[in-house]
Amino acid sequence: MRPSWAGAASRAAGGRRGRPLLSGNWKMHHTHLEAIQVVQKLAYRLSPGDLEQAEVSLHPPFTALRSVQTVLESDETPIALGAQNCHWEDEGAYTGEVSAAMLAKLNVRYVIVGHSERRQLFGDTDEQINRRLQAVLRHNMTPILCVGETLEEREAGRTSERVTDQLRADLAGVGQAAIGGLVVAYEPVWAIGTGQNATPEDAEETCALIRSVVKEMAGAGAGETLRIQYGGSVTSGNAGDLMAQADVDGLLVGGASLDPDVFALVVKAALGR
């Protein structure tokens, strides 16, 4: 089904949130050699028009960042480089960690912070997420802050409370202008990797809530320019309908971003093609 395009129409009419941001989060997949192949194939599958109308970002594991950067820059492919996490200090005795300063040197543009897998499997707290986010901003990159409720919280009717609490804690002390430039990804935990996506209406309801909480926190201007992605079992089958929602400005795609043929179809579907 073709999307009704409410969101896209307003964006095309000079909306302040620009092109849809379609991000591929590879999680712990692809060696640097595989990553090179995936990027090259994806660049071939997407037309110059696709890459003009959408902003595409790829978030490989740390070990593949330098290789992907080199391919994108040497081929002059207009795909943004992204990372999946970072530490809040610029350097120090933090074995196993990678800093925002190091990512910035690789021309990383977007850094995911607060992904639910980090929160659930690695114990990331809101305080740590807030520090990571501030480190990303300090190095002139754009955070993609993930928020979302668990199934238990949803069934208990606590979705808005949970998402509001996360936003308030994760954005504490961040200036209004910086908040206006952020990306927030609404990722209901029960929809991640389960094949069970939120309906476009459910996604819109929470994305609209996120915008209104941000307006309350940082003013109407910041709320209007804030970009909001939906993530959780996005496919080429649901991307168009999700993107048609007024408050959905992009998609954060996990499983369907690993195969370049599949991700290219998601990008095209998000563009209504």
Stretch that binds ligand PGA, among 61-69, 161-169, 209-217, 253-261 (CB under 6 A): 253-261
The single residue among 57, 84, 166, 233 that binds ligand PGA, judged by CB under 6 A, is: 233
Whole-number minimum distance, CB 144 to ligand PGA, in Å?
9
Q: Does 252 bind ligand PGA (CB under 6 A)?
A: yes
Q: Does 237 bind ligand PGA (CB under 6 A)?
A: no
Q: Does 255 bind ligand PGA (CB under 6 A)?
A: yes
Range 117-146, binding ligand PGA (CB under 6 A): none
DSSP string, the chain: -----HHHHHHHTT-TT-S-EEEEE--S---HHHHHHHHHHHHHHS-HHHHHHSEEEEE--HHHHHHHHHHHHHTT---EEEES--BSSSSSS-TT--BHHHHHHTT--EEEES-HHHHHHS---HHHHHHHHHHHHHTT-EEEEEE---HHHHHTT-HHHHHHHHHHHHTTT--HHHHHT-EEEE--GGGTTSS-PPPHHHHHHHHHHHHHHHHHHH-HHHHHH-EEEEESS--TTTHHHHHTSTT--EEEESGGGSSHHHHHHHHHHHTT-
Q: Does 192 bind ligand PGA (CB under 6 A)?
A: yes
The single residue among 8, 72, 210, 234 that binds ligand PGA, judged by CB under 6 A, is: 234
Q: Which is nearer to ligand PGA, 7 or 231 (CB)?
A: 231
Q: Does 254 bind ligand PGA (CB under 6 A)?
A: yes
Q: Does 111 bind ligand PGA (CB under 6 A)?
A: no
Query: x/- site string to ligand PGA, residues 19 to 38, per CB under 6 A?
Result: ------x-------------
# binding residues, ligand PGA (CB under 6 A): 13
The answer to whether the CB of 115 falls within 8 A of the CB of 154 is no
Q: Does 231 bind ligand PGA (CB under 6 A)?
A: yes
Q: Does 148 bind ligand PGA (CB under 6 A)?
A: no
CA distance 264 to 217: 36
Closest-CB residue for ligand PGA? 254
The single residue among 187, 241, 247, 249 that binds ligand PGA, judged by CB under 6 A, is: 187
Residues that bind ligand PGA (CB under 6 A): 25, 187, 192-193, 231-234, 252-256
